[in-house]
Amino acid sequence: MSIELFSLAGRRALITGASQGIGLALATGLGRAGASLVINGRDVAKLEAASDGLRDKGLDVRAMAFDVTDQAATQAAISRIEVEEGPIDILVNNAGMQRRGPLESFAAEDWHAILRTNLDSVFFTSQAVARHMIPRGRGKIINIASLMSEVARYGVGPYTASKGAVKNLTKAMCTDWARHGLQVNAIGPGYFATPLNKALSEDATFDQWLRQRTPAGRWGKVEELQGTAIFLASAAADFVNGQVIYVDGGILATI
């Protein structure tokens, strides 16, 4: 098997929520595999700082600030990228948020904020990009699911619901779009030390529990998600469709 199967040279990747954490790591990995990058976020200053950092690594990057929870703004931004930058070959739906609390007292506005960011954005962005990919007969969409697409923990019910929906939306997108030459898959990260998990990684009790619960005995490093993303974005995965690949240090493999 040639290493060229994994090359992303000549491809353009849009990564949402890419100003920090997992999104920034995935952008770095795809860029190092040869892709031109368009990184998205809502915080212009953070996005520009991330863009500068990627350029310092020698990567080809453009920053595009838009709100992926706003369907009209997302459609307009995708059209602009297609015209000004060129075809989007790879989409990574990474934008996400977390708010914790017991379900019996969880505020409706927080529930809707999580669903808008973690689920609506995946639909809005994928639909807008797919409308360009379908006539070309090719494209890669990678959704970021979660360990919580399969299991639940106390206090993160709305997040769990949103990520379970991302898992099945991935399957639905595959069902509708595979016939048009698109591959739609998801990555399900386990526990990684990111800004989204800051409250957990700084909790000594949780940290000890996680290390004991995870067969690998540690938190994941965001760079360890890059290989899976490169594989799913490349020609090596041309017949992989509708799948969720869990990168979790073995948590789901054991009880």
For residue 221, give the 3-state DSSP assignment.
coil
Return the active site residues: 159
Instruction: State what percent of residues in the chain have pLDDT above 90.
Output: 95
Regarding pTM above 0.95, the answer is yes
Distance from C-alpha of 220 to C-alpha of 207, rounded to nearest angstrom: 12
Q: For residue 173, give the nearest of 130, 144, 138 by alpha carbon.
A: 130
- Return the pLDDT at 197: 83
Q: Which residue has the higher pLDDT, 199 or 120?
A: 120
- Return the pLDDT at 5: 95
Is 187:149 a contact under the CB 8 Å cutoff?
Answer: no
Q: Which residue has the higher pLDDT, 3 or 243?
A: 243
Mean predicted lDDT score pLDDT of the chain:
97
DSSP track, 173-199: HHHHHGGGTEEEEEEEE--B-SGGGHH
Is 1 a residue whose pLDDT tops 70?
Answer: no
- Return the pLDDT at 18: 98
Mean pLDDT of 159-165: 98
- Return the pLDDT at 194: 86
Tokens encoding 112: 């809707």
- Architecture of the domain spanning 3-246: 3-Layer(aba) Sandwich (3.40)
* Predicted confidence band of residue 199 (pLDDT cuts 50, 70, 90): confident
Mean pLDDT of 6-12: 98
Q: For the segment 68-99, what is each residue's pLDDT rounded down to a tens digit?
A: 999 999 999 999 999 999 999 999 999 999 99
Instruction: State what percent of residues in the chain have pLDDT above 70.
Output: 99
Q: Which residue has the higher pLDDT, 58 or 1?
A: 58
Residue 62 CB-density burial (10 A; 0-12 exposed, 13-18 middle, 19+ buried): middle
- Return the pLDDT at 37: 98
Distance from C-alpha of 218 to C-alpha of 98, rounded to nearest angstrom: 22
Is 232 a residue whose pLDDT tops 90?
Answer: yes
* Range of weakest confidence among 2-6, 16-20, 23-27, 29-33: 2-6
